[in-house]
Structure 1
Amino acid sequence: MRNADGDLLSFAWADAETASAKLESATVSAFPLKDIQSSSFSSFRQNADGSLSALSQVKITRQNPVPAWIIDVSKIKGKLLQARFGIAEQVDGMFGFTLESSNDLKNWQSLGSEQLVQLRHQGSMLQNLGIRLHHVSAQYLRLRWNNPAVAPWLDNVSIDSQQEVYTPPVLQWSKPIPVKACAANYCDYSIPDNTPIDSLRLLVSEPNTLLHITVLAQVTTTTAPVSSYHHRHSPLYPLHVLRNQKRNAEVQVVNQQVWLNDSLVYKINLQNGEVKSPDLLLDGASYKTLRLQTDSPFSKLGKTLPEIQIASLPRRLVFLARGKPPYQLEWGMENKEGAAIPLTTLIPKMDLSKPVQADIASVEIADYVAPQAVVKPVAEKTPAKEHKPWLWAALGVGLLLLGGMVWSLLKNMSEDKAKT
């Protein structure tokens, strides 16, 4: 931070650190309901500690339509990050539902509408069986199918959670970023300098499109940029990396590229609606160029090259407003003298459990202008230029001189012959 005179100002990050936050994944119990009434809990009973147990004398089979499920998350510590559902492999379709949370099985709060997707399309299996829970805190979840007659049986439910006191803010998405350059099986995109990338969205324009892509980042050193997990990173990304076993804790850089993610990207029209692939999680680091690479020709994503959007988790900082405004924020630079200091050092005797009391500063950032895509120019025939009058005159003078020289040469040859 600098003031109008260029003096460095003391500042601290106001975001709560989550370096010690513990990530956990656990399989939880799910109980089918005969109807969607909140008072109808015929397949389980509630124990003294709040957990639920199945009633052995009640049998609800998968042959009968189940309109709703109760998911017991009472033993999960911390905030709920994601729910992952298991259904039979032969199930095929898109299944919409609403999800609700409760702490007493009586009062329910809506968490929104979601859908489970398991489709076979052009020889590939499309799956989206994970639902993000956005750090909700609850004892129970209730899933209510939109169409119970065709809804699948839930074989199992797993919950990813994090013990923390920090809830990250809502992602901020960029404007669409156009293609910088393309080859047969990849496209490159220029990213604004020093922008942390926590999520990526591929804007596929044409329906009934499907392609497997790998997201790579181009780097200029032998080590990958370091992401700030403890400040702003989505904890779901390291879980995704571990499950896919694609990247170690110490990232290896091969051919100046580092792997970030891979997934099926699709946009398919069905009779009951459109299904799109979810946004991709990234590592929260900054890169200058992202490359989307495919096993097939990139043109399978449509005639129009798809744009992308990137998202970052916004951060907050507090600084001591010394000197004259405007105050300038510089980032992406190594400056030990201007580095952040602990919040308790900036504001002594501060209670970290309470919000920071400070004036609100408005931030003005210039719009990012993406470079134009590299397109090979088409060679065009240059039309012959119209000859100028002075060119004709010069040509005429040249012909006269040449004629005079020839006449003089012939005359001399005739005189020499006569004398002989």
Structure 2
Amino acid sequence: MGKLSVAVVGLCTTLFVWAQEAPADFTTQVPLSVSGNGPWYRLELPLAVQLSARQADLSDVRVFNAAGEPQAYALSRQSSQRTESRNVVDVKWFPLYAADTRETVPGVVLKATAEGTLLEVRPAAASQAGKQVLRGWVLDASAIKAPLQQLSLDWSREQDGFQRFSIEASDDLQHWESWGDGQVARLSFADQRVEQHDVGLPGQSARYLRLVWQGQAAPVLTSAKLMSATSSLSTPLVWSQPLTGTRLKAGEYSWQLPTGLSVERLRVELKQPNTLAPVTLSGRRESNQAWQPLSNALLYRLSQNGQDVVQDEVQLPGQVVTELKLQVDERGGGLGVEAPALRFAVRATQLVFLARGEPPFTLALGNASAKAANLPLSTLIPDYSAERLNTLGLARVAGEVAVTSPAVTAAVDTGSNWKKFGLWAVLLLGVAALGAMAYSLLRKPPVAR
């Protein structure tokens, strides 16, 4: 009976060893290099590598050491790093006047209180007071202490069309830093009114913003709002390569994504100048499901003041989709017979792993049956904090990505499954034999003395 017990235990041990995951169980293996302070390392997963996963939530991501042993890891995603709180504030605005629309930055005197609240903006010289070309506005954001995320403007109804301006930031009203360009619009199209009021800001703090219109007089503002955030730990967007689509019918196109993805933004190629296209975007996860509306937008590429003004992006809610469909109102001229090229953007994902054993380390992806094995960051790193994440060692893709043919992988998986079934069968037979032996021993009459 003792020998049988040892045999059964040995079979159990062998079973679990054989059933343990190995790099060969995944279709894609990516060599990694590490640098900096360990034993924890963080890796920003390239989008091309993420697309090798067979599961949208990256449940089939693993890291192995040189001996093929799996490493403990966590995924740092946008869902766990969302901005803590947002606040929208109406701010005061002050006009900037110049001699003409060619002057880049109007010469002005700006006065503020000791607390930083803006009191007055007036021409630098009295001779300029009579020049009434409105070139821009100064916004007073001195009461906002959090990083600025978005600007929202409204202006006089008499001034339709595009409004394009430069954005500069300052804390002392003397030194100004460029924050790029902004564009808002109010358009009438096919008995509809399309308005774009919001402009993204870089997520930095500033007491004052200066908006200067380029090559045209500024409109009369009726509202100016700034959205701020107390903390912004959101990871950046990463963009895909162009996708080729299919024309379903006139004004309707579809694109198949490589896998299910939480898409947050799209960029539609607008090849022809003077393109104007109101669009509706829909998505779905399975080909047999009904299309679900995701967003509406106005796409355009228009010539203005000798340059192209382009709006080719669509904001999405971040739902997981595998297929996208674009419907175009062709009263604007449409987007052509062929489906336009499409780029999509998703949030970058960081993988943090605890290095155990010897390098080199290998990232493995691509196993439709793998179960999620990632830990929470607070479990992987006992004294975890968001600040500490930036101090961890770095891991990077190093070398060629090895991809196994799905057909070969399927064959390997099938063989592995037969082995597992066989081992379980042997194990059950062993347990049954052990039980039968114990039963026979219990039924055997005691030996007379």
Tell me if TM exceeds 0.5.
yes
Q: For residue 40 of structure 1, what is the aligned residue in structure 2?
A: 109
Q: For residue 314 of structure 1, what is the aligned residue in structure 2?
A: 348
- Map of 1:42-61 to 2, 5 A cutoff? 45-53=111-119
Identity %: 25
Q: How far 1:134 sits from its partner (Å)?
A: 2.3
Report whether the alignment pairs 1:89 with 2:157: yes
Call closer, same or farther: CA 1:47–1:332 in 2, change over 3 Å: farther
Q: For residue 358 of structure 1, what is the aligned residue in structure 2?
A: 393
Q: For residue 191 of structure 1, what is the aligned residue in structure 2?
A: 257
The amino acid of 1:186's aligned partner reads E
- Map of 1:216-365 to 2, 5 A cutoff? 216-220=282-286, 256-296=290-330, 300-322=334-356, 325-330=360-365, 338-342=373-377, 344-350=378-384, 352-354=386-388, 355-362=390-397
Q: What is the TM-score when the length of structure 2 is the normalising length?
A: 0.63
Is the partner of 1:111 in helix, strand or coil?
A: strand
Call closer, same or farther: CA 1:293–1:309 in 2, change over 3 Å: same
CA contact (8 A) 1:184 1:298 kept: no
Q: For residue 159 of structure 1, what is the aligned residue in structure 2?
A: 226
Moved over 6 A (4+): 60-63, 331-334, 363-367
Is the partner of 2:379 in helix, strand or coil?
A: helix
Q: For residue 141 of structure 1, what is the aligned residue in structure 2?
A: 209
CA contact (8 A) 1:77 1:162 kept: no
Q: What is the TM-score when the length of structure 1 is the normalising length?
A: 0.67
Which consecutive residues of structure 1, in runs of 5 or more, have no partner in the other structure? 223-254, 368-420
CA contact (8 A) 2:97 2:136 kept: yes
Higher relative contact order (CA 8 A, sep 6+): 2
Q: How far 1:263 sits from its partner (Å)?
A: 1.0
Which consecutive residues of structure 2, in runs of 5 or more, have no partner in the other structure? 1-61, 99-104, 123-127, 404-449
The amino acid of 1:40's aligned partner reads V
Distance in structure 2 (CA, Å) of the matches to 1:190 and 1:120 = 33
Moved more, 46-55 or 185-194: 46-55
CA RMSD in angstroms, aligned pairs only:
3.5
Moved more, 1-10 or 153-162: 1-10
Call closer, same or farther: CA 1:142–1:20 in 2, change over 3 Å: closer
Distance in structure 1 (CA, Å) of the matches to 2:310 and 2:129 = 32
Is the partner of 1:156 in helix, strand or coil?
A: strand
Q: How far 1:24 sits from its partner (Å)?
A: 2.0
Distance in structure 2 (CA, Å) of the matches to 1:61 and 1:303 = 55
Distance in structure 2 (CA, Å) of the matches to 1:281 and 1:262 = 9
Is the partner of 2:321 in helix, strand or coil?
A: coil
The amino acid of 1:142's aligned partner reads R
Distance in structure 1 (CA, Å) of the matches to 2:280 and 2:129 = 41
Larger strand proportion of the pair: 2
Larger helix proportion of the pair: 2
Q: How far 1:174 sits from its partner (Å)?
A: 1.3
Distance in structure 1 (CA, Å) of the matches to 2:234 and 2:143 = 20
Q: How far 1:11 sits from its partner (Å)?
A: 1.0
